[in-house]
Amino acid sequence: MNVVIVGAQWGDEGKGKIVDLFTEFADGVVRFQGGANAGHTLVVGGEKTVLHLIPSGILHPGKRCFIGSGVVVDPESLVQEVDLVKAKGHLADDAQLCVSLGAHVIMPYHKRLDRLREQQRGAGAIGTTGRGIGPCYEDKVARRGVRIADLLAPEALTRLVRARLPEANAQIVSLGGEALDEARILNDAAVSAARLRAFAGDVSAELAREMERGKSILFEGAQGTLLDVDHGTYPFVTSSNTVAGNAAVGAGVGPTQLHQVIGISKAYTTRVGAGPFPTELSDALGDRLRTVGQEFGATTGRPRRCGWFDALVVRYAARVNGLSGLALTKLDVLSGIDPIRICVGYRVHGRELRELTPDVETLSAAEPIYEDLAGWRQPLRDLRSWEELPVAARRYVQRIEQLTGVEVAAVSIGAERGETIIRRNPFRKN
């Protein structure tokens, strides 16, 4: 059984924890898109670990982890993560991690261009992390990118940097930045290459071998559905396809190898950066969700915008991903709030909409139509079964199932790995 896990909102839904949880039942985990702009926070035994590139499954001994060709890799960030997980007693065997030779490399000029462009946009800034993700994907599509295979081949790397750097530097200078030095770029790249050589390999072939042996693979996405470059709230999106269909492309497997798709959604809604957000709460309740839910970006530390659960968003995610189940996170954050609201529609210029459109002009004008549900006061973190949840909490989850058309397979009631109620395990045939 192979399972894809994707974000069903605007990212930051708690994918890292759910991937870590279900890795127990998988033999391998593969990251298939995005870059170091996604931070997955894991809490195991009270110890917090934040990963940006290495799949969350690395915290499980003996589980193989893969970074697919669809990912853009910052070599320095990856080296730092390798050192971090090794220092925590993980990744004892280098063979546990395999980085695709076809994955594109984020170069220093990508990061500098990213930051300068965002500054230049001023009030119209998209809200990128400045990690060079977009410019790297641009070079990939323009067929002038550097791949891991090139990083490991000094002559190829020199040729590619020499061809690209003059134009990149011209752009950097025109944006008010300082030009980069070729020799330093190549020297730093050589240092990273020496550290990463042991992990480079053919991820597609490795995954095929694993699946031929009957092994189960978990495909880990980054960001969320509404940040997909084709299906999200463009232009306030990331630079890759975040939907489940890209798991096959980004990892290098056939689509028939994907058996289940689990969407991750918070019990409320958040987003980071600019863009429309119909259910946003710009009041004391929004502040409460942010504080209790510790809603600050794992990558940037930026405070997240918070609001009520939007059923239209998750129903849209169910459609474009083909969700077979939902994992609902941070239900515990809603304890003590009464009533709890769910957005069941929008009112736009006098018209009522019951389905989401990713068109930003429409969403920017949307007024949410709410349904109120009874809240509960009981803390949830010590509960371990569905039956132990307060009746109001169960009814809230059941209403989400009704509105989205997707079964809630797991409910997270705290940050720790064990603070999760699994109602249906996607790796097991029920």
Question: Which residue is catalytic, options 20, 40, 104, 228?
Answer: 40
Q: Is residue 246 within 8 Å of 32, Cβ to Cβ?
A: yes
Whether 40 sits among the annotated catalytic residues: the reply is yes
Q: Is residue 306 within 8 Å of 290, Cβ to Cβ?
A: yes
- Tokens 């410019």 belong to residue: 135
Smallest CA-to-CA distance from 306 within 314, 296, 316, 315 is with 296
Question: Which residue is catalytic, options 12, 27, 139, 310?
Answer: 12
Task: Please provide residue 311's backbone torsions phi and psi, each rounded to the nearest 5 degrees.
Answer: -65, -30
| Residue 51 in tokens | 């990963």
Whether 104 sits among the annotated catalytic residues: the reply is no
Task: Please provide residue 68's backbone torsions phi and psi, each rounded to the nearest 5 degrees.
Answer: -80, 175
Catalytically annotated residues = 12, 40
